[in-house]
Amino acid sequence: MRALTPLDTGAPTLHAYEDQQGPPRVSAARMKAVGDGIWAVYNLRETWMSLGPRVETVKQAVPAPSRIDACPCGSGKKFKKCCG
């Protein structure tokens, strides 16, 4: 895509659009650079698609505290006397 950033210094021989009227405004080298840029983006997308879908991380379930465990709120009391 770097080829598209400088000014088009080539001799204008083409129209950028089909229905454009008047003298040509774009050089053949610039049109080739645009086409190469489009294909580069397409190839990059194909590479991303070939890598496959993202894999979700497996989250382990936190077991619920039993009545005699310490309370998860941090009070220091047993679960049955505090939040249970």
The model's pLDDT over 24-66, given as tens digits with 9 standing for 90+, comes to 888 998 889 989 999 999 999 999 888 878 788 888 887 877 8
Supply φ then ψ for residue 56, to 5 degrees: -70, 140
Strand partners for 70: 78
Cα–Cα nearest to 29, from 61, 56, 6: 6
Check: pTM over 0.85? Answer yes or no. Answer: no
d(C-alpha 39, C-alpha 56), whole Å: 31
Dihedral (C-alpha) 34, 37, 39, 41: value to the nearest 10 degrees? -140
